[in-house]
A and B are shown apart, each in its own frame.
Chain A
């Protein structure tokens, strides 16, 4: 008993308070989103709000159990937990039920659970275990490959379930790895790829090329901090331009397209600069030039990937997100209605249960993926900023907790928890206000659904347990 009391004392109650606030706020908004005058009792088990309170009850029990289990269990059994969830992911492929086009639900009796959610927990544990293992180093290629495979295995299985949204979440594990020393370039490179991917689809090729060239020149100027180099590059560029033009003029028939002229010039100039920088041993310059070449290559491959790899509904969603096709009744209908609902809330909102856009089904999935619309419509900017601030407080609190861990395992796991919550938070809210593509992932602790709530509760409380026991173990 003495030990148990110790645990309660050591728990981070601020995090639990934030958790309770978000869960209760979510429940009230689910009530409002699917409110039905015939079933006005918030505990009515035939309705989603009644079920949600049941899920909340189960979550509380789950949290208790997690806190009761010795923290060493999570460390020791992380591989086992990971493997169990991988098996479940495989099982889903065979026995799963298809809902909304993705075969990601496993029926256990009358309960439907989504193993993809729990796979994140397993992956977080196994990553923490691997990174915290003796003599782990990011410079060790074997370890790095092992790490990548551990992440890619569930990602691949979830892709096979046709649940792109959940699969994408796994890329957020870059953040805890970055914290542990993974090269910043990879983070930067991923950001660059995403930005270029979007820009390629949005902008005409010529303006994109001009932007990429300007960025490369600018990056060089920043890194080298010497105007002479900058002028030197511009000189090389102009000379290349002249030769490319001359060549085109002499040997190529027909009209010379400015875009191709610029493209050839820039590639030619880059090669010249790359050779010069290698000879002169200026590695930073070589890096910038390489990045430039890669960027240009990427802009070409994006079109290829977009046209040949993505499925039509994914293309439509991405196109719509980027504002390429404006069809308010097609793929953009949901986001448009979602923005209308949130935008109509004003400063203080229409009041509890007074929302019309969500209640009358203009907004799709109003209790799950688009629950934030109800907040926006009924509570206005006051409500949305409150939710965002609560989430930011929780995230920063989690980083604080992670940083105070003595074991690498706990710290990596803490960062993983914060990162997964962050990714869900960023994409879910981002998509409701048109800042992120519509990937159907729920708002942590907030959206309706047992699987999602249990998973996030488990994720959070495993970390809280680790935190509470941080002084006992030293890994």
Chain B
């Protein structure tokens, strides 16, 4: 035997060591480390999201308001893009070459393997052209999407718009991926979870060139998209459209509610915008314009504009007076061109005695100054402060100083000052007295209410003491129970006290009783209304009118605000009565057509530019 035979052991050791290292490494690679399995799945699976159709929106009469149109997003996976004819692609899509290059650069920065959207919302017509030439563009593919389309291009503020999901939502809600669409405002936002449906997904096996090799696992993992639920909302599209036409070239808002249900029939904020202006690529043009407009078309006045209610608040004080028994319908107060106590004076236009009904019809300030003072100084209460707190409770029971429409995301609560507010500002060193806050009696002063709250208050009067949660959703088709909780809110006023209020509000329209809105009398319809003027420190006063009709079975309660239009009777009252007439009769009687014409043509924004459109 040779002397080196022991060296075989070293060689065998080298062999075994190598094999041993391989076994250990393979055990770690294959059994312990699971990341490779995931990578492998990512490698071969392409998930194609199937976007569901968004739910449709119908109005209260079953008319289709909002539906979907097809649009196509062009995606690209940078790694797979080969040489292609950029000029051809740009001409098909009608885009600048620079735009395409920038988009591709951005996509490359995001990921070389993952696809990103290069061109959004290609119209069906252009898509048809593109599809024929698609084979010339390796690395690109098209994903169908849907965009909103509007049968009635109205109520932008109510319906809201759909847009690309923001990064915060992508982070907080797992459902959304960047680039998805969701409801940004309005109904679209409130009922997003129902409207959106559920995304589906198809899984395909792909090879290294991202070519589809077949469905994965026989399509067992595929998820079919679930179409979004259709909504029926409470708006009356005809009425809404009519209201928007009446309000064109005016600043202000209209809210109409069906008192027996709390359903909001119309909500106009003027100037506003058409929902179609916010669809898809249009929005990038419209949005900056709307946002920069000094008339604030994006601002929903109906739920966010705060005005003092003015004389429309007089019913409130009358009702509290009756409930607290400090007045009766027969109580008389003298108006001597106003209310005068010592050196204090609050002006009015009359020189006569008023009872409850006539005080409403002719809107006497003095009557309410007395009433308000009696309420606050009632012996029922320990002092004026307690009287005020009780008064505030009554007021708040009508839905003031709080948010009343849970579906509206951006509603403001308004303001009825709590007692410490006055304690701090008016009575820091003195006893509480009624006189310093007497302007509350005629709805001026520190009170702030929204048009929605005023419509709701009118509905509560029409109902003789209660109101339902104002809401937009009638039902979600296919869903048994309502989503929005509609509650009957009982006010603190007994129903027996409303009879005389109705009578007074009816006389507002009456020629015979010298009603303040007698010019807007509608033959054949018993309307109960009340004029109001909101003092405006910045310019001409705002014209307010609240009304409900018909008197014995109210079907509509409405509040109309026309900014800088001075008195309630000038603009707000005629607009209100036109809407009521339209709603109850379906048309405007011949004798009143001139009023309709005047209202529509009136331009309070730019008297010298009569053709200004809300937005188009």
Query: In the bound complex, do residue B30 and residue A340 qualify as a contact, i.e. CB atoms below 8 Å apart?
Result: no
B8 contacts chain A at the CB level, 8 A cutoff: yes
Report which of A341, A343, A395, A429 forms a contact with B22, defined as CB distance below 8 A: A429
* B424 interfacial by beta-carbon distance below 8 Å: no
Q: How does the 8 Å CB contact mask read for B2-44 relative to A, with 1 for contact and 0 for none?
A: 1111011011101110110111011101110101110111011
Tally the A-B contacts, defined by beta carbons under 8 Å: 119
Chain A residues touching B, majority SS = helix
Return B156 CB to nearest CB of chain A, in Å.
48
Q: Is A35 interfacial (CB-CB < 8 Å)?
A: no
Contact, CB under 8 Å: A384 / B30: yes
By the criterion CB–CB under 8 Å, are B213 and A381 in contact? no
Say yes or no: is A342 at the interface (Cβ < 8 Å to chain B). Answer: yes
Q: Does A435 reach chain B (CB closer than 8 Å)?
A: yes
**Nearest CB to that of B1 among chain A residues?**
A403
Q: A415 touching B112 by the CB < 8 A rule?
A: no
Q: How far is the CA of A426 from the CA of B14 in the complex (A)?
A: 11
B36 touches A343 (CB 8 A): yes
- Name the residue on B nearest A384 (C-beta): B26
Contacts of B12 in A (CB 8 A): 396, 399
With A and B bound together, what is the CA distance between A439 and B14 in angstroms?
20
B431 at the A interface (CB under 8 A): no
Are B8 and A399 in contact, with the CB atoms below 8 A? yes
Distance, CA A347 to CA B31, complexed state (A): 5
CB distance from A349 to the nearest CB of B (A): 9
Is the CB of A245 closer than 8 A to any CB of chain B? no
Interface-located stretch among B203-211, B364-372, B446-454 = B203-211
Do A361 and B16 touch across chains, with their CB atoms under 8 A apart? no
- Residue interface mask A328-351, B partner, CB < 8 A = 1: 010000000101111111110000
Q: Which of A87-95, A177-185, A215-223 contacts B (4 or more CB under 8 A)?
A: A177-185
Kindly specify which of A76-84, A385-393, A466-474 makes contact with the partner chain: A385-393
The one of A179, A396, A418 in contact with B7, judged by C-beta atoms closer than 8 angstroms, is A179
Residues of A within 8 A of B325 (CB): none
Q: Which of A181, A184, A418, A433 contacts B3 (CB 8 A)?
A: A181
**B43 close to A357 (CB less than 8 A):** yes
Let me know if B106 is at the binding interface, CB within 8 A: no
Q: Is there contact, CB below 8 Å, between B39 and A340?
A: yes
Give min CB distance, A132 to chain B, whole Å: 11
Decide if B15 touches A396 in the complex (CB within 8 Å).
yes
In the complex, whether A422 has a CB less than 8 A from a CB of chain B is: yes
A347 to B12, CA, bound (A): 28
The 8 A CB mask of B204-222 against A (1 = contact, 0 = none) is 0111110001000000000
Q: A175: shortest Cβ distance to chain B, in Å?
A: 6
Could you tell me if A329 and B79 are in contact, using CB atoms closer than 8 angstroms?
yes
Bitwise, A168-199 to B at CB < 8 A (1) or not (0) is 00000001001111001000000000000000
Q: How far is B19's CA from A329's CA once the two chains are assembled, in angstroms?
A: 29
Q: Is the CB of B43 within 8 A of A362?
A: yes
**Most A C-beta atoms less than 10 A away, residue of B31, B35, B209:** B31
B18 lies within 8 A of A422 (CB): yes
**What 1/0 mask marks residues of chain A from 424 to 447 whose CB sits below 8 Å from any chain B CB?**
011001100101000000000000
Partner of A356, one of B25, B31, B36, B40: B40
Q: A361-B207, A388-B22, A388-B23 are in contact. Are A342 and B29 (CB under 8 A)?
A: yes
Instruction: Kindly list 9 other residue pairs between chains A and B, CB separation below 8 angstroms, not including A385-B26, A418-B11, A426-B18.
Output: A329-B112, A340-B40, A356-B40, A360-B205, A395-B15, A399-B8, A399-B15, A430-B22, A433-B22
